[in-house]
Structure 1
Amino acid sequence: MTDLRDDATFDALRSLLAGDLLSPRTPGYDDARTVFNAMIDRSPALIVQCENRTDVALALAFAREHGLEIAVRGGGHSVAGLALTDGLVVDLRRMNDVVVDPVARTATVGGGAVMADLDRACAPHGLATTGGRVSTTGIGGFVLGGGTGWFDRLFGLACDNLLEAEVVTADGEIVLAAADSHPELFWALHGGGGNFGVVTSMVLRLHALMASTFALLLWPPERGPEVVRTFRDVVQAGPDELGGGAVYLTGPEGEDFVPDHLVGRLALAIVLVYAGTEAELRRVAAPLFDAAPEGRFVAELPYDQVQSAMDDPPGYRNYWSAEHLDDLPDEAVDAFCARAADMLVPSASQHVLFTMGGAIGRGPEDYPVPWRHAAWVVHPFGLWTDPADDERAIRWTREVRAAVRPWSTGDVYLNFIGDEGRDRVVSGFGDDGYSRLAAVKARYDPHNVFHRNHNVRPE
């Protein structure tokens, strides 16, 4: 392998790029290698900050010529730190343009755009599509992994709204994947992740969204089983326009709506999002408003503000997992609520039960997202600051999964988990889906160049 400390080698690649090339010797390197999960500390040999698809192809060619492992960074929101490697990072974050066609109701999105970029571009047109529940999530990894968010019950999964994608393959070929162009690759991009190439742009279907309302209602934790059952019943009887989650969290400081006795202590929050007005939400979710919440925030907000309402700043240590549930009987509610007592408090951790159903379950049957038919998903979301708490936080996350496993579908949304082994990867795609993905992988990436992901091996 070439010595990358050699100035001539470094300068030769840099001279070809429209973007920038960073190494441990160049300014800006440490910022460029930082990801949101503070448990991840990797030092890439090179970071290519790509300006266009040609830069991507050049970076891939250089990495393969010099025997460097490749990682692809969009938002860098992989909890396992898969956006970094000790080899070469293809950093797409400068490729973050979003162009909205309000007549066709589509958005053409750069491979490095994050959710906030998309939401801001769509807002003036009264349009939206399924986005992640935080504004900093990279759109590429989110959509390619399936994509579940606040309004997925109404708009379907993010991948259900993928209309075409421009892909740079491992050998540098630039292909357009669509229903009538590279159709098997196009199918694989609907949930198969970043296994098949670097997606430098994608076209997404948009939907009308003229009003959106966000509510956060708070109770002390001892009210948990009662309130979560009420939430379950409200969602099951409610329209697709209603989404949200039951979230155990540390009562936040500095918010007027949080009573003093819940600040810094374990609390139960019911988060409600509604594609409509505040009055409509209050009517649809009346049993929750009538359940005497001790703190409440309710407001009609632009969609981009709904998307950022639950943002946490970077710099926390992170460990997440998930179990998808067929049903949510009272026993499952009790099991979910009981595990909240072991969560790190105070911390930024969240013990979450998200809604599913609606348009998610009505989506295309053949995409490799078997978890779309789950009714609920339990998502222990560990965030903390002290390395001394690592063992406790990770153990809690795993114990949450074990507690609700009796009601589990066995499938899993891979964007919600880190590295949990090959069996869990297969569970994310389904046995038949994995086999078909492996055949697509063999065609477009036979040497498994793109393996910094929930990996599908070429077969």
Structure 2
Amino acid sequence: MTGNLLEPASVDDLRTQLSGRVVTPSDGDYEDVRNIFNAMIVARPQLIARCADADDVKAALAFARNNRLEIAVRSGGHSVAGACLVDGGLVIDTRPMNHVAVDPERATVTVGGGTSWGEFDRGTQPYGLATTGGRVSTTGVAGLTLGGGSGWLERKHGLACDNLLSIDLVTADGREVTANEQENPDLFWGLHGAGGNFGVATSLTFRLHRLPEFSIALLLWPADEGRSIAGIYRDLIATAPDEVGGGMLYMTGPPEEFVPPHLVGQLTCGVLVTYCGAEPALREVAAPLLAAAPHGQVITNIPYADLQCMLDDPPGFRNYWTDEHLRELPDEALDRYCERAYDMVVPSASQYALLPWGGAVTHGRDWPGFNRATPWAVHPLGLWEDPADDDRVIGWARDVRAAMRPWSSGDVYLNFIGDEGTDRVVAGYGEENYRKLARIKAEFDPENIFNRWHNIHPAR
């Protein structure tokens, strides 16, 4: 365990200081509050401070410091490495801070630090406005954005962090600071990819974009047609307008109405084409894929927020994710990618994605994230139930990385991986950026209190 064993009177004292709740293992809802997306993470904090505002965050930080407790910060709970839990320590749970305030005239939105993307998108959709968010609705806005923020709209509107205008933080010493282009600009730079290394996000303001119409094509084939489809998809993306997003993936065919019986429960090749516009224009863009006679398909206009909910991964699975970025995608690389699909555990909730960057992602500013010129990412996501499959699934994901390494660009999007060591963290930022981030860390968190998410060590 991490930290001292607390006396009940001490815990009661913290309760009196918070507007929100303090949850301990003796509370009936402790497990529900503690559970995170990755069922492999079994850390059991002594306290979960469900913070209602910045004052609650400051009180929880002070309590942890005075009692020598390690802390973790939670917004959505989707960190695959379990950065939002700490065994024996204190979790600052910001989920009660989930307000959404839209300014339609300025096309901006301000949200609380615990807001989920589902709450964000439902709040902006009535105004015909949106910005790049996560690929599922249950991910936390703060965690995804501060790690970069990849999502379906990124080729048109950039990453989530590219649309971040301002952020309010509580730092390790209990200060409330605002970071934007004018205030604390170096900190603002660091928050575009360096995650929760500098403080607890209590409020974030974003630029929004008009999105009056949105459409998707979800297309399925048997796995043995996957190599042919991969080539068509690669060539389609090479000339696709920025309005096109999505990705190719292998998965277990789900028992849905649009999935033909011969694909249900079987290894299946799928392509999701998202389009910032109406269905007729989408069909024109996706014509090469439609000509390949998908065995199952959904092609429709859909509210963007509905897509975000449609692909929600179910909680309760064991998870292992990793990522390899590719500087090019020749035929041999596609051969390797498709071959490795047959090593997946099927049936399972695992997914094996080939994701295109490009478009507005390449136009983003020089934030401390991955190499924006990288055109492709291979992203195996292992999700399974039986602990006996741990070595098999984790081995498969690592083998995928090894197989694709001849074409690797060497960088990595850190939100796509768990704890893979310091070298991978440095690769996620680049060595020069990492050194600058270490100097910023030394200013705002010299004791390295915030050390759970792809830790940046303070410069000495």
**What TM-score results when the alignment is normalised by the length of structure 2?**
0.98
Counterpart contact for 1:213–1:306, Cα < 8 Å: no
CA RMSD, 1 decimal: 1.1
Q: Counterpart in 1 of 2:267?
A: 266
Question: What's 1:132 paired with?
Answer: 134
- Confirm or deny: 8 A CA contact 2:4 2:69 kept in the other structure: no
Deviation at 1:26, TM superposition (A): 2.1
Conserved 8 A contact 2:3-2:69: no
Residue aligning to 1:108: 110
Cα deviation 1:57-83 (Å, max 9, x = unaligned): 000000011000000000010001110
**Residue of structure 1 in register with 2:349 after alignment:** 348
SS in 2 for 1:99: strand
Q: Which amino acid is the alignment partner of residue 431 of structure 1?
A: E
- Counterpart residue number, 1:296: 297
* Residues 14-33 of structure 1 aligned to structure 2 (within 5 Å): 14-33=15-34
Distance in 2, matches of 1:191 and 1:19, equals 29
The answer as to whether partners of 2:136 and 2:308 remain within 8 angstroms in 1 is yes
Structure 1 stretches of 4+ with a deviation exceeding 4 A read: 1-5
| AA at the equivalent of 1:384 | W
8 A Cα contact 2:169 2:202, kept in partner: yes
**Maintained 8 Å contact 1:320/1:397:** yes
1:455 equivalent in alignment to 2:424: no
- Correspondence for 2:166: 164
Post-superposition Cα deviations, 1:366-418, rounded to whole Å, max 9, x if no partner, equal 21013322101000010011111111000000011111111111000000000
Q: Residues 33-112 of structure 1 correspond to what in structure 2 (within 5 A)?
A: 33-86=34-87, 87-112=89-114
Q: Which amino acid aligns with 2:192?
A: H
DSSP 3-state at the match of 1:100: strand
Gaps of 5+ in 1: none
**Is the 2:265–2:346 Cα contact (8 Å) retained in structure 1?**
yes
Counting aligned pairs with the same residue, the percent is 56
1:6 aligns with 2:12: no
- Are the counterparts in 2 of residues 4 and 10 from structure 1 also a CA contact under 8 Å? no
> SS of the counterpart of 2:22?
strand
Letter of the structure 1 residue corresponding to residue 444 of structure 2: Y
Q: 1:210 — aligned with what?
A: 212
Tell me, in whole angstroms, the C-alpha distance in 2 between the residues paired with 1:103 and 1:371: 34
- Quote the residue 1:257 is aligned against: 258
Tell me which amino acid in the other structure corresponds to 1:422. T
Task: Return the TM-score normalized by structure 1.
Answer: 0.98
- Offset at residue 2 of structure 1 (A): 8.8
Match of 2:458, as an amino acid? P
Letter of the 1:235 counterpart: I
CA distance in 1, matches of 2:405, 2:146: 26
Between the aligned partners of 1:420 and 1:3, the Cα distance in structure 2 is: 29
- Structure 2 portions without partners, runs of 5+: none
Cα deviation for residue 28 of structure 1 reads 1.5
CA distance in 1, matches of 2:354, 2:310: 17
Map of 2:393 onto structure 1: 393
Aligned length: 457
Give a deviation string over 1:203-252, Cα, whole Å, max 9, x none: 01110101111221011111111111101111111100001111100011
1:370 match: secondary structure: coil
Aligned-partner Cα distance in 1 for 2:347–2:371: 32
Q: How many Å separate the matches in 2 of 1:23 and 1:6?
A: 12
Match of 1:230 in 2: 232
Aligned counterpart, 1:423: 423
User: In the aligned structure 1, how far is the partner of 2:369 from the partner of 2:49?
Assistant: 32
The correspondence of residues 394-409 of structure 1 with structure 2, limited to 5 A, is: 394-409=394-409
- Specify the SS of the correspondent of 2:372: helix
CA distance in 2, matches of 1:331, 1:414: 26
Describe the SS at the equivalent of 1:447.
coil
Cα drift, residue 24 of structure 1: 1.1
